[in-house]
Each structure stands twice: as C-alpha cells, then as structure tokens.
Structure 1
Amino acid sequence: MRITLHWKLFAALIIVVAIFITGTAGYVYIEGWSVFDSLYMTAITLTSVGYQEVHPLSRAGRVFTIFLVICGYGMLAVMIGLVSTFLIEAEFTELRRFKKMKKRLQKLENHYIICGGGRIGERVAEEFARAKVPFALIEKDEERVNYLLEKYPGIICIKGDATEEGVLKKAKIEKAKGILTTFPSDADNLFVVISARAINPMLRTISRAAEEETQRKLTTAGADAVILPNLTGALRMASLAIRPNVVSFLDVMCGTGEFTLNLEEVEIPPSSWLIGKTLGEAKIPNKTGLIVIAIKKRGTDIFKFNPLSTEKLDPRDILIVLGSGEQIKKLKRYAREKEAI
C-alpha cells in the first residue's frame, strides 16, 4: 500500500510541474510576456498569493487565468488528500503491526531473547527466523527497530533498553529458554547477563565480548558461552589460508554457500520406539537420508563421534546429524513415533 501512495505522490508532483509549464507557456503564447514574467504570474495564480498582475491581461489571458485558478485549487485538494491518506495509512499500518506483535508476544514462551539489533543481532535473528526458532529482539534505537520490522515483517522487535529489568520482563524473560547479548559494549553485555541470571537462573546465556579480558568476567557472572568476534574472525581468516576446503564445507553447513546443509541436534523422546534399538536397527540414514555425526549420551558431556552401528539409543540421547532441513524434520517425526514404521 505504501508503494502505491509513493507513486501517487510522485504522479501528483509531475502534474504540478506540468501545470506550471502549461501556465508559463500559455502566458508567453497569449500575452507575449517573457518566460520569467509568465512563470511568476503562474506561481502567484496557482498559489493564490494575490499579488497584482505583472502586466494588464487581455480577455483571452483572463480566461486562461481562470483555468489556472481552478487547476490550482484542484491540485491543492489532491495534494492534501494524498498526504492525509499517506499519513493515516502509515499510522494505521504501524498500529496494526504493533497489535499483531503484542498478540504474538503474549503467546511467547520457551523462546530466545536477542539483546541488540546491530549487525550481529540482526544476523542471529535472521538465522533464528530461518530455523523457525521463536525469539524476541530488543533494540533501543527507533530507526533501527523500524528497519528490522520492515526487513523481517514477522519478527517480534521490542523498542527499549535491554539493560533495564522492565524491558527484559516485557520480553517475557521468565518464560524464555535463553538470552543472547550482542552489544558492542562489554559493560552492557555484562549488566544484561547479571540481570538475566537474577530474573531467570535457568536461562541459557550467550554473550558477545569485545575484549578477551572480559570473557572471564562474563563467565563468572553466569554466561554459559562467550563469543569474541575478533578472535573467531582471525581464526576464520587463518583457516581460509590453511584449509580452504574445510571452510567451504563449513560455509555450506552454515547456509552461506550455494547449497545449504544443517548440522542439527535431535533428542530421542522417552516414548520413542528407537529406545533400546541400535543405530543399525534404527536405519536412520535409510529412512531420512541424514548422516549421524555423533551421539551425546544422556546426562554426560561426552560425544561419541562416528558412532558404530551397534551403539544403543537411550531416552534423552542427542543425535548430532547432518542433512537438509526437510531431512531433519523427517527424523524428528521418525523419533516421535511410538512404533516402528
């Protein structure tokens, strides 16, 4: 709708210019005036300023001036209508978008909160949206909020300062699964981590850090993981020089290549028919097309890489698999079945 209104305003501007050109040309032709005098006469006529005529008008010139006055009032009415429509439509669209977002926010639970809508926060939001992970993003800059809502219409973007406890509660931090702080300031990240832990101790907390010295402080404050963009960027550059094919493969898995694969984790539900079965009996590659990279056994931090076909599956085991998004969905459905299919 906004695009249509923009084009209407542009068309109205073209008409105004055309009327000015017509008026100027008319006075030049009818009265024989100079271009400047004709343009001046057209301007004061169309704007109804009321200054005296540049030169005495002939009968034909007066008729032409009446035509210009009618065009001027018509042009003014059209411009006022278009501008009013534009403003009302923009306000209505903003209100409707806010109501929809508020309704989605009320239903939100077991979600992630992204603090900061800068380049890193935007990329995290983009990845969450692609993976259909529920999240809310907090950003205090109004212009940035509008940009994000325009680019990603379906997201929940809250305008506010994430360092304030009230704003975190507005994002339903009590019911959240995790929080990611992406601010360029280590002090802001540290403050949010402390506040988040105080409100919801069970929250999984991931923080950005600009300085390596801050990593220990963030971990002590309760961050489960700390990411240093400068360090990861340096390691990537070194890897591109030393092992470019490995980086290309990782790009494919991260969705930055031409063909996208996902490295995903799938938990075995307690009621799954897969419990007690071996990987060979589960036939996951045959049924889904996925590659099982590793298994993380329940209640441990140990990964069994390249597991054997004789490896037994237990409730809450986590399978690390590689494949397309559709194949991963198929495995999740397959794992939820209570009987073999």
Structure 2
Amino acid sequence: MAPLHRIRIAVLALAGVTVFGTVGYLLLGFTLLEASYQTVTTVATVGYREVRPLSPVGQVFTMVLIVVGVGTVLYNLGVILEAVTEGHLRRTLEERRMNKEIGALRGHVIVCGYGRVGRSAADFLRSTGEQVVVADNDPERFADLDPAVPRVLGDVTRDEVLLAAGLATARAVVVCLESDADTVYTTLSARALRPDVVIVARARTTGSKAKLELAGANRAVNPQRIGGRRLAAFALQPDVAEFLDVVMHEDSLDWRIQQVPVAAGSALAGRTVGECRERTGVLPLAVRRSPGAGLEANPSADAVLPSGAVLIVMGTQAELAALCALVTGAVLE
C-alpha cells in the first residue's frame, strides 16, 4: 500500500474516532464544546478531569473510547514515523512532482534503459536542447542522473510505465535495453500505443535488427557495428571521419548538419533547392521527396521541394535558424 494512502487512512480513522466520541458524549448530555473537549483529552490521554461527572454508561463509553482512540493514535504515529524515517513519504512526493512535470512535457524524447548506451543517448539529446525522460527499472542507475531530468522507475515493457513517461505526447522513443527480447517487446508496446511516434531501437545482434524493424522500429541500430565502422573510417579516412564527427556532435564548430521537414503550407513547399540556398545560405546535401522514398544526394538547384519532403542541409547556426524560420511561416520574396 502506498505511504500516502496509508497516511490518508490513518487520518480518516482518527477523524472517525473523534466524531464517534463527540456524538457519544452529546448523547450523554454534554454540549458540543464539552463533548469535543472531552473526546480530544480522552483520545490524547492527557489526563485532565472530566468536564461533567460520568454515569456508569458514560464511564463504559469512555473506556471504549480510550481503547479505540489510543490504538488509532498509536497507529497514526507508527505510519507517520515509518513514512518519514524510511523515506517513503519523500519518494512518494517526488514521484508525484515528477509525474506532474512529465505530464506537462510536449515533444520530448523517452530513453528506455539507462545503461551505457542509454546514458550516452540521453546526454547527447540534452546537449542539443531536447527534453528527455529516462525510464529504467534499476534505481541505482539514476544515481548519477541530473536531478533536473525527469525519470520513471519501472519496467518499460509494461504499457503503464511507457504512458507514465509521457508516451502520449512524446516526439520519439529510444529503446536500448539489456536484451533484444525486451527491446522487441517494448517496441511493439510503444508502436501499439502510439502508431505515429518515432522509435529508434538498439539491436544487440545483427540478426535482431530486422526483427526490431518488423516490430515497429523506424530505425534499428547496432552500436557495435557502428563502432567498428567508425574505427575503420578513422583508420582509412581520418579527416572525413573527424569532419563528420565535428559537424554532428561537437560544439566547437559553428557548422551543423540538420534535417528540415517541408510541411504542407510551408514557405518552402513548391520552391526549388536553389531558392532555399540563395535565401538562407545553407548547403543542401540531400532530399527525401516523400516518406519512404530514397535519399537523393547533392540535389540540383532546380529540384522542387514538394510538401512532405525532408531536406538535409549543412550550415551555420544562423543559417539553419533562418531556414527554420522560413519553414515555420516566413514567405520567400
């Protein structure tokens, strides 16, 4: 039973005993104030004199009230001391505060599993300014997590834990659990609850990648395979690998690679790649004309951007900001 629920029951029991005693003394001929005073002093075992002389019936009633009232008070004391000394109350209040904070989030990213891969993903997401909610069933993994980061303690294979992490309003879900079976199950659950959410899953083995995509993951990533390829890239083409590393992950360079969706009604819809570059100064690298279509690298300046396309560009922070401003409503002149 939750600590706050136990405290609530204890307080209601004490209130019930107080009402019981007050009504009993009223029936014995006491006034309301006298009945309330007699009940409180009796239950609290203060030991003051009776307000009025008690008849045999009143004495029996008082004995019953002492037994019931003292037992209730001791129960209240035990519940409160347990909640305070064992930290139950503090954890419950923190959990409520966290749930309220998560409920207010919109467009955040849920990281399922806070192991080495999950920690790395969460750190990178936060470094780019994204709002992150971390979910894991091991409380010890939260020891080094920034207190400002919302977290949910529980098994992410369960629907209620995903919903508690704000799946209904999340932008994406990153699943990086210890076993492929749990990752597949969590991916299935997330896809069933939110058919439109972006799901990126960690594949521990090469064979599980196809299964994760069948389960509903938009992308399945094998960190070991990517790590091996990066090692080989640094060995064969170190300058190319370093450049890609810098523009994707480092803050020391002003240049960035970013994807920009061309939504319906956007100022870019129906315009050419060349117009986009002339207006903002960004360098178009590739374009995906529609969901599911292949990427067209190095698009020509005459290529038209239809609604629903995704444009991948490279530019400075100022150039990317100008491009985003166009996408969100500015009009090309």
Q: TM-score, normalised by structure 1?
A: 0.64
Please name the residue that 2:246 is paired with: 252
Match of residue 329, structure 1, among 321, 324, 331: 321
Question: What is residue 230 of structure 1 aligned with on the other side?
Answer: 224
Given the alignment of the two structures, is residue 113 of structure 1 paired with residue 107 of structure 2, yes or no? Answer: no
Q: 2:135 matched to 1:138?
A: yes
Q: Is the 8 A contact 2:273 2:284 kept in 1?
A: no
The superposition leaves residues 278-314 of structure 1 with CA deviations (integer Å, 9 ceiling, x where unpaired) of: 233x2x3444332111121135513222122222222
* 1:185-235 Cα distance to aligned partner (Å, 9 max, x none): 222212212222332333332211222222233233222221111111111
Identify which of 255, 258, 276 aligns with 1:261: 255
CA contact (8 A) 2:273 2:300 kept: yes
Q: Given the superposition, is the C-alpha separation of residues 209 and 300 from structure 1 closer, same or farther in structure 2, using an over 3 Å criterion?
A: closer
Letter in 2 for 1:245: D
Alignment of structure 1 residues 18-57 onto 2, 5 Å: none
Q: CA deviation at 1:272?
A: 2.9
User: Equivalent of 1:308, from 295, 300, 305?
Assistant: 300
| In 1, Cα distance between equivalents of 2:270 and 2:213 | 38
| Alpha-carbon spacing, 1:141–1:331, altered in 2? closer, same or farther (3 Å) | same
**Partner residue, 1:273:** 267
Which of 166, 190, 197 is the aligned partner of 1:196? 190
Aligned CA distance change for structure 1 residues 249 and 127 (closer, same or farther; 3 Å)? same
Provide the rounded CA distance (Å) in 2 between the counterparts of 1:192 and 1:114. Answer: 12
User: What is the letter of the counterpart of residue 304 of structure 1?
Assistant: E
Partner AA of 1:275 in structure 2: A
Q: Secondary structure at the match of 1:158?
A: strand
Which of 287, 300, 303 aligns to 1:295? It is: 287
Report deviation, 1:144: 2.0
Residue 322 of structure 2 aligns with an amino acid whose one-letter code is: K
Contact kept in structure 2, 1:208 and 1:229, CA below 8 Å: yes
Whether the 8 Å CA contact 1:149–1:157 is kept in 2: the answer is: no
Counterpart for residue 126 of structure 2: 129
Q: More displaced, 207-216 or 251-260? A: 251-260
The 8 Å contact of residues 151 and 165 in structure 2, kept in 1 or not, is answered as no
Question: 1:248-286: per-residue Cα shift (whole Å, max 9, x none)?
Answer: 111112224742532211122322333333233x2x344
Query: In the alignment, which of 168, 171, 176 is matched to residue 165 of structure 2?
Result: 171
Q: Separation in 2 of the partners of 1:311 and 1:276?
A: 10
Change beyond 3 A, Cα 1:312–1:223: closer
C-alpha separation in 2, matches of 1:272 and 1:215: 35
In structure 2, relative to structure 1, the CA distance for the partners of 1:96 and 1:149 (3 Å cut) is farther
Cα 1:165–1:274 change in 2 (3 A) is closer
Q: CA deviation at 1:240?
A: 1.2
Residues 1:131 and 1:100: Cα distance change in structure 2 (over 3 Å): farther
Query: Matches of 2:298 and 2:104 in 1, distance apart?
Result: 40
Q: Deviations over 1:318-340 (max 9, x none)?
A: 21011234432221112233533
Asked if 1:161 corresponds to 2:155, the answer is yes
Q: In structure 1, the residue corresponding to 2:145 is in which secondary structure?
A: helix
TM-score by length of 2: 0.66
Cα RMSD for the two superposed structures:
2.9
The farther-off stretch of 114-123 and 132-141 is: 132-141
In structure 2, the CA distance between the partners of 1:330 and 1:100, relative to structure 1 (3 Å rule), is farther
Separation in 1, partners of 2:313, 2:294? 16
Structure 1 segments unaligned to the other structure (5+ residues):
1-86
Q: Structure 1 CA distance, aligned partners of 2:251 and 2:196?
A: 35
Q: What is the SS of the residue equivalent to 1:212?
A: coil
Deviations 1:57-104 (CA, angstroms, capped at 9, x unpaired): xxxxxxxxxxxxxxxxxxxxxxxxxxxxxx99x999988865653333
Shift in Å, 1:167: 0.9
